Structure 1
Amino acid sequence: MKPIRSLLSIILLFTFGCSSENKDFEIENPTTEAIYFPPINSDTWETLSPLKLNWNTNALDELSLFLETSNTKSFIILHKGKIAFEQYFNGHTNTTPWYWASAGKTLTSTITGIAQDQGLLNINNKVSDYLGAGWTSTTLEKENLITCKNLLSMTSGLDDTLGDAVSSNDLQYIADANSRWAYHNVYVKLQDIVAQASNQTWTNYFNQNLKNKIGMTGTWIPVGDLSVYWSNTRSMARFGLMLSANGLWENTQIVSQFFIEDATNTSQNINEAYGYLWWLNGKSSFRLPQSQFEFSGKLIPNAPNDMYCALGKNDQKIYIVPSKDLVVIRMGDAADDTNFALSTFDNDLWEKINAVTN
C-alpha cells in the first residue's frame, strides 16, 4: 500500500506544483475534483448557491431554525471549499472569536504530523526521548512504554480520573501503554515535544507551519495546564478545508497525506472510533470520555459512515465528509446539557443536514 500512496503523492505534487499565485485557487485531484481555496491574506470567500447543488431550500430553513434554537453562534457548510451555507446568531459575526475546546486537539495532532514530516520527531519514539525521564510519576520502566503515538491515540495508560492537570505528579500509572483507552489531557505533552524538537515555542511553530500558511486567525489562550485555541469560525473552516484536501492548501502540502490517512483511521484496537485525536464515524463500536464502557454501533448514526470529526466541549464541531465533499463547522454554547465531546445534538443536527443535502 505504501508504494501506491507514494506514487499518488508524487503525481499530486507534480500536478499542483505548477502554480504559485496567492489568490482564489482551485485544484483538480482524483478524489475531490475542483477544490476552492480562499486567499490567505483576505477574508473574501467564494460562495455556492444551495440551488445549484440541488439542495432542499425548505429544509435549509428548518436547519436554520434548529441552529438558532440550539444555542448556535455560527455555522458553515463548505462544498468543495466554497461556502454553500453560512449563518451567525445572537450578535456573533464572521470576525467574532470563539473557543475550539477539545476540537482543537486536532490542531495538536496536525502539528505533530507536520513536525514528523519535517524529520523533527517520530511518533513511534517514546515521549521521554524528547521530554526526558521523569515527566510522569510512574516507574521508568512503565514511562518508557509511552510513545508519542500513545498520546495521539489516548492509550498512554495514565490515570484519567485525577483531574485536568498534567504535571508529573498528576500523571500516574493505571495500566500499561496500549492496553487501555482513556480520554486524557496528557495529549498536550505533544505540544511540549514539538517545541523541544523544533527549538521554538509551540505558538511560533504553530503559526509558521499552519496558521499563517492557510490564512487562519486566532490565538492560544492558557487555561490551567492547557491552552485553548480561539478563532473566528472561518478559520476553523479553513483548517477543515485543508484536511479535506488531503493536507494541501493551494499548491503547498501543509501536512502529508500519509499522516492524515493514519490520523483519520482507527489508531488502536480498543476504541475503533478514534484516530489521532480525531473521532471516526461508521465503526461497529465506540468509547466515550470518562467511561470504560464500549457502545455498539456508529458514533453518530445519522451521519455518513466515512465522516471524521473534531468534537469539543459544549458542541464545538468540525465534520469532514469525503464522500460528499463537505466540511461542516458549528460553534456556540452547548445545545442542551454541558458535554465533553459527543452529544445528542450531533445526531439531531445530521438529521437536519441530511434533509438539506440528500
Structure 2
Amino acid sequence: MNNKFSLSTIIRPHILTLTPYSSARDEYTGKEGIFLDANENPFGSVGQESYNRYPDPYQSAIKEKLAPIKGVRPGQIFLGNGSDEPIDLLVRATCTPGQDRILIMPPTYGMYEVSASINDVPLTKVPLTPDFQIDTDAVLAAITPDTKIIWICSPNNPSGNLVQASAIQTLLEQFAGLVVVDEAYIDFAEVESWTQRLDEYPNLVVLQTFSKAWGLASLRLGMCFASEDLIRILNKIKPPYNISGPTQQLLLNALDGVEAKNQMVIDILHERDTLRNMLNDLPLVKKVHPSDANFLLVQFEDAKAVMDYLLSEKIIVRDRSRVILCDGCLRITVGTRDENVAVIDALKKYHQNAVEA
C-alpha cells in the first residue's frame, strides 16, 4: 500500500470541481420510451442500418461483460477511443500545462511524449537499462514535487520484454503520483496482469487494448483499469459519446469469443518462437532480443540497408535504429507462417546479394 498517495492532490483542482456535460443519456438511462430528448432524427438513418440514436455514453453492457473476463469490477473500467484517449485524459486530468511533469523511460511507446507535448506538459526522461529494465534508483531520484505520472510499458514497446515486477512495485509504493502500466501486449506474456492488484494500490492505472490479441485494431478501442474514484474522473472529462454504437455492438459480440482469442494467442506465440529460431540462424542477424510480446526486436549489421531491401520486396517492418538503446534494430511483428517465411527468404536473398557484391 502507498500511504503517500491521495487522488485529491493528483487531480487538477478545477477538474475535481468541474460540472461535467450532462447528455440526454445521462438524464434518462432507460431503454424503452418515446425519445424526444436528444434532438435525434426520429425517422431512422440513411442506409439499411439504424444509427439515429445516441449510444450508451458509459458502455455499461460491455463493462458488465468484460469485468469477469478481466477479474475486475465494472466500475474499475474506462473504455476509450484506443488507448490513446485514456493516455490523453490522464495527462489532462492531472497536469497543469507548463508546470506539472510526467516521467517516461525510453525506449517506450511514443504517445506518452506526444500527449505531453500536445498538452504542454514537460517531460522527465530516465532511460531504461541496457537490458530494458527500470533503473529504479534513477527514477526515484528524478521525481520532483511536480511529477504527476510515471509511465511504464510492460511488455515494453519496442523491446518486447516484461519489466521486472519488483521495480514496478517499488514505484507504486514510493511515488505519490499515478503509476501507469501499459499492458497492450500482456496477452502474449506468461504473467498475471497488474489489474489484479488495483485494490492494493490506489495509484495504479493499467492500460490494455483490443487491438493486438483480440485482432480488433480497426475498432480503435482501448481499456483503462483504475480505482472507481479515478474512473469517475475520466468519465467526467471524456467526450459524451466517445465509443460509437456500432463499435459497442461489435465488441459485445467479440467478447463471446474469448476461446478464439486465446487460440490466436497460442498460434502467435508458436510463430514467434519459430520466427526467432529462423532469425537466429541468419548470419546477418546480430541479436534477437527476448520478447514477451507479438513482435521481435532484431539487431542487424546494417539495419537501414536491410529495411530498404525489405521495403523493395513489399515487406514492411519498423525501423527502430534511431531510438535510444535500439541501435541497428528493426521491429518485426510476428505474422502468419507464410508471412514469416517470406521475411526469412527475403533476408536470405539480401545476404546472398551482399556476399556476391
Q: Same fold (TM over 0.5)?
A: no
| Structure of higher CA gyration radius | 2
Q: Which has the higher contact order (CA 8 A, sep 6+)?
A: 1
User: Comparing both structures, which one devotes a greater share of its residues to helix?
Assistant: 2
